[in-house]
Amino acid sequence: MSRFIFTFAVYFLIWMGFTTSFDPQELIAGAVLSLIITFFSYKSFTDLGLSFLNPKRLFNIVKYMFVFIIALFKANFDVAKRVINPKLPINPGIVAYKTKLKSDTAKVFLANSITLTPGTLTVDVIGDTLYIHWIDVITKDPQKIYSEIGEQFEVILKEIFE
C-alpha cells in the first residue's frame, strides 16, 4: 500500500509539472491517469515506498545531488582539457570494479554516476562487478580503483537505498 501511494504521488507530481495548472479538470484527469498507470507499475517502480521519505534519506539525496553536480562539472572540464590539448593525452583501458552495494536500484544509480564522472564509462554490470572503461588508467590495484572511481557515491547511495 505504501508503495502504491508513493508511486501515485510521484506520477501525479510529474503530471502537475507538465501541466503547471490548478484547473480542476486538469487535476482530475491527472489523478485518473496516474491511478491507472500506478496500478500497473507500482510493483516495479519502488521497493521502499513511503519509507523513502524519511528525513535522513532526503538529506542524503540532497547531498548526493551536490556531489553529483560537482562531479559532472569536473568531468566536463576533464573532457574539455583532453579534447582541446593537441596531443590528446589519453591512456584508455577497461578495469573491473567491485561494488559493495546490494540493491539493484543502488547499482543502477552507481553505474549512471560513474558514467558521468571524470574519465569513466560503465560498460557492463555482472553481479557485483562493474566493468568500466577508463580514459586514463592510472592504477590497476583494485583497492585504488575503488577509492578513485566510486567511493564518494557508494557511501551516500548506501545511506539512501539500504
Partner 1 sequence: MSVLTYLGYAMVTVGVIFLFLGALGIFRMPDVYNRLQAGTKATTLGALGTILGVGLLQPEWFWKTLIIAIFIAISNPISSHALARGSYKIGIKPITKEDDMDAYAGVETENEEE
Q: Based on CB atoms, which residue is closest to partner 1, 82 or 100?
A: 82
CA–chain centroid gap for 105, Å, is 8
Say whether residue 122 binds partner 1 (CB under 8 A): yes
Q: What angle do CA 108, 114, 117 make, to 5 degrees?
A: 145
Q: Which stretch binds partner 1 (CB under 8 A): 23-31, 36-44, 46-54, 105-113?
A: 105-113
User: Whole-number minimum distance, CB 46 to partner 1, in Å?
Assistant: 15
Select the residue interacting with partner 1 from 39, 72, 102, 151 (CB under 8 A): 72
Helix axes 2-19, 24-45, angle to 10 degrees: 140
| Residue indicated by cell numbers 505504501 | 2
Where does this chain bind partner 1 (CB under 8 A)? Answer: 14, 16-18, 20, 72-73, 75-76, 79-80, 82-84, 88, 90-96, 111-113, 115-116, 119-124, 126, 131, 133, 135, 137, 140
